[in-house]
Amino acid sequence: MHLTRRTFAAASLATMPLTLAACSGQSNLDTGTGEGSDLPIVNCYNGAGAGFTKNFNPHSPTVLSMVQGLIYEPLFYYNPLAAIDVDPVPQLGESFEWNEDGTVLTVTVRSGATWTDGTAFTANDVAFTFNAIRDNATLNPAGAAPGAEATDDTTVVLTYPAPAFVEGPNALGRTWIIPEHLWTDVEDLATYTNEEPIGTGPFSLGDFTPESYLLSANTSYWEEGKPAIGGVRVQSLSGNQSATDKWLAGEIDYTSTSMPNLDEHVASNPDLSYTNSPTSQCALFAASNPELGCEGPQTDPAVRRALYLGMDREQLSALAFYGLGTDISPAFGLPERDVDFIDPSIDVAPWNADVEGARAALEDAGYAEGSDGVYAKDGVRVSMTISCPTGWSDFVTALDTLAEQYKAVGIELIPQQVSVNEWNDAKSTGKFQLVIDSLGQGPAPDPYYLYHTFFSTETTVPVGENGNPYQNSARFSDPEVDAALAAAAGTDDPEVKKQQYAIIQQIIVENMPYIPVLIGSSLTEYNNSRVTGWPTQEDLYCYPMSWSAPDNAQVLKTVVPV
């Protein structure tokens, strides 16, 4: 998606559509936001299994779920499922306009909003937030973040060092505005844990334990009539099976969890529903770059090619993803949404294993099969560990299935289940061989954001240093890719973008630091017994995943008590 130079403005915030249905049955929803309140509390599970540690800093890579968007808001909301020409929804911003060359972005911000301590929100808070990010080396490693100036209480001007049209959705839709009067003395914006959060969002912190925390409705929220529920309780559970059991029992109301037999459950219980919005591209993340300290057989592109060819995606979809997996492109553009931006010479990944092709890839690179059936080169066997979080049943099954599939190829794969914290720490430091994860989409429907997040030199660090676990964990770095990304960032011409994306795609398909598996289902499950207005397959008014920020804030601002 490119931002045009025209002004975007909205006279009023669009009202999200609701699906109000008469529902029967009982729910085990918590109720109450505090003394005297009887509004329902939505129970939510977002994958946490090891307990919670207080961190309500929206700019921290380890911030707790549902802080971004629910407590601290962006300026606008971009729906990544919407058509490319759909305008974003105003939040703390009301309108914006680019200058001709894409170096200056002028934003009109909302008047009348307040922080939950009663202090008025102004453009000074927006300018302070952007300047604090610009001045923090961890959050602005490449020095490309804009400077900001509040020219009055409702106007802020962002100035970039180079043309930055593609940075618009990040600035407008993924920058969490913080209060200047409370954060001005914070020494390190990236590490501050902010245990007593004060935001402008629809919810504020209630109670907190390592097992769960409550976000209570903000009764002074700027958007009249919202939120209509009493709050959200985020829970820590042992894994997908526990989440499934609690959802079926009415004890979880909103979760994005891989569950079997969903259609059967929904058919037998009118209180239950789900949506499927597949955009996450499942892949094997390889610590691929020996120049940045990566070690292991997976640093050889030939091994990664063999892993790509040797997997049977049809079997993986059936056994691990409930038959809902779909074709994935090794160019990592979505085959349908991004069809006009994918080099036509690049086909989707093979649906069935090419065992002979995988073996040939190894043998052509000098590997020989050993007496144990595993290929080796220079005395090093093609044996690698691969990890996923404990209890994530789809990934656990996928790794067990792959381990069996790769025996036919002459590759030994050793699955490991670890805590979510260990999994993220491995990605952060680069101290792993393979992990299974998904490459998520960016703030707008444009492949640029995925390419920049996962393939840019500026989004990775050497092994041993702490990088962002949700960015370039593979440690991929290529100057031609960096140059193409810079060229794409400096234009709002779709044809120029296509040319630059083709350069990127050819390089990443050849190197394959992320080995594409399939586009998995993106399932979100709901309980409608006392709260309704959830997204439906016919009305995906936002990306509905419960863990996705700030999309989950749009969901929880929209739902209403039955």
Point out the least confidently predicted range of 1-15, 163-177, 444-458.
1-15
Instruction: State how far the Cα of 439 lies from the Cα of 329, in Å rounded to an integer.
Output: 12
The whole-number average pLDDT for the span 490-514 is 94
The whole-number average pLDDT for the span 274-303 is 96
For residue 375, what are the contacts with CB-CB under 8 A and spacing of at least 6? 359, 362, 363, 367, 368, 369, 381, 382, 410, 411
- pLDDT number for residue 50: 77
**CA 282 to each of CA 50, 285, 406: distance values in angstroms, whole numbers, following the listed order:** 23, 9, 18
For 36: left if phi > 0, alpha if psi spans -120 to 50, otherwise beta; the answer is left
The whole-number average pLDDT for the span 144-149 is 95
95-105 pLDDT, tens per residue? 999 999 999 99
- pLDDT number for residue 416: 98
Point out the least confidently predicted range of 61-65, 443-447, 504-508, 527-531.
443-447
- CA dihedral 50→52→57→60, nearest 10 degrees, is -10
Exposed (0-12), middle (13-18) or buried (19+): which is 159, by Cβ within 10 Å? middle
- pLDDT number for residue 333: 93
Exposed (0-12), middle (13-18) or buried (19+): which is 105, by Cβ within 10 Å? buried
pLDDT of 34 higher than 70: no
pLDDT of 27 higher than 50: no
Domains of the chain: 281-519 (3.10.105.10)
198-227 pLDDT, tens per residue? 999 999 999 999 999 999 999 999 999 999
Question: What is the CB neighbour count within 10 angstroms for residue 323?
Answer: 11
Residue pair 468/459 in contact (Cβ under 8 Å)? The answer is yes
For 25: left if phi > 0, alpha if psi spans -120 to 50, otherwise beta; the answer is left
Helix or strand or coil: residue 31? Answer: strand
Nearest Cα neighbor of 285 from 386, 403, 354, 410 is: 386
- pLDDT number for residue 84: 67
Identify residue 388 by its one-letter amino acid code.
Answer: C
Nearest Cα neighbor of 435 from 294, 235, 278 is: 294
The whole-number average pLDDT for the span 75-88 is 85
Q: Which two tokens stand for residue 407?
A: 């025996």
228-266 pLDDT, tens per residue? 999 999 999 988 899 999 999 999 999 999 888 899 999
pLDDT of 56 higher than 60: yes
Residue pair 519/317 in contact (Cβ under 8 Å)? The answer is no
The whole-number average pLDDT for the span 193-198 is 98
pLDDT of 191 higher than 50: yes
- pLDDT number for residue 322: 86
Nearest Cα neighbor of 259 from 172, 312, 324 is: 324
Point out the least confidently predicted range of 46-55, 104-113, 193-202.
46-55
State the SS3 of 208-266.
ECCCEEEEEECCCCCCCCCCCCCEEEEECCCCHHHHHHHHHCCCCCEECCCCCCHHHHH
Residue pair 44/235 in contact (Cβ under 8 Å)? The answer is yes
Residue pair 356/344 in contact (Cβ under 8 Å)? The answer is no
pLDDT of 36 higher than 50: no
475-488 pLDDT, tens per residue? 999 999 999 999 99
Mean pLDDT of the chain: 91
161-181 pLDDT, tens per residue? 988 898 899 999 999 999 999
For residue 393, what are the contacts with CB-CB under 8 A and spacing of at least 6? 239, 240, 241, 258
Instruction: State how far the Cα of 78 lies from the Cα of 210, in Å rounded to an integer.
Output: 32
Paired strand residues for 144: none
- pLDDT number for residue 33: 41
150-159 pLDDT, tens per residue? 999 999 999 9
- β-bridge pairing 383-389 and 434-439: parallel
Burial 508-544 (b: 16+ CB within 10 A, else e): bbebbbbbbbbbbbbbbbbbbbbbbbbbbeeebbbbb
Instruction: State how far the Cα of 554 lies from the Cα of 94, in Å rounded to an integer.
Output: 17
Residue pair 19/541 in contact (Cβ under 8 Å)? The answer is no
For residue 155, what are the contacts with CB-CB under 8 A and spacing of at least 6? 106, 107, 108, 109, 123
Q: Which pTM value belongs to this model?
A: 0.74
